[in-house]
Amino acid sequence: MKVILLNGSPNKDGCTKRALIEISNTLNKNGIDTEIIEIGSLSISGCLDCGACRSTGECVFNDIVNEVNKKLENANGLVIGSPVYYASANGTLISFLDRLFHSSKVNKQLKVGASVVSARRSGTTASFDILNKYFTIANMPVVSSTYWNNVHGFTKEDTEKDKEGLQTMRNLALNMAFLIKAIEHEKEKTGLPKLEREYFTSFFD
């Protein structure tokens, strides 16, 4: 069992990364392998809606998006971490996620998702809501914790002082590990639910 963690911050050793490390360490202690992938420091263009992915199952821009897409196929969970910029998630990360979720044909049903946000002060819950929408359109259960999944601080050293924030990360990881194991156990017995895909309504008469 494995979880991919995406660091959407251009600071590879900052507040967001500190939160992801706390999650990763707790998942490891509970039998879940992890991989942290740096996204925020890359140059990533947004989706052009060119339609090429409809036939290929991957993005026409052959970059980190397609690399993560391949890794996601064998993962049981995905954690998205972002700093708050202007009361929203990092734009580079959003471009990455738009393309990943739009282009990928990987079956994400019951792969477990969680978003984590870091901020100096404000904008965490707005960013949190934006990131969670990627999971809820893709049949992915969203993992919660004992508070909203955020940490506060201007530097990594500040985040170390946010004891409740780091506690929230550990509890998030505990819930994620439990849910992944429960889903895998049930999949072995009954398989995945067979979902309806008959209707695609764009307008009403």
Tens digits of residue pLDDT in 111-126: 999 999 999 999 999 9
Tens digits of residue pLDDT in 129-172: 999 999 999 999 999 999 999 999 999 999 999 999 999 999 99
Q: Are 137 and 101 in contact (CB under 8 A)?
A: yes
What gap in Å lies between CA 95 and CA 42, rounded to an integer?
11
Tens digits of residue pLDDT in 9-30: 999 999 999 999 999 999 999 9
Q: Which residues pair with 186 in a beta bridge?
A: none
Chain centre distance of CA 76: 12
Nearest to 108 by CA among 146, 151, 68: 68
Q: For residue 200, what pLDDT band results from cuts at 50, 70 and 90?
A: confident
Burial tier of 115 (Cβ tally within 10 Å: 0-12, 13-18, 19+)? buried
Q: Are 112 and 177 in contact (CB under 8 A)?
A: no
Q: Which residues, including other chains, have CB under 8 Å from residue 43's CB and lie 6 or more apart?
A: 92
Domains recognised in the chain with CATH numbers: 2-190 (3.40.50.360)
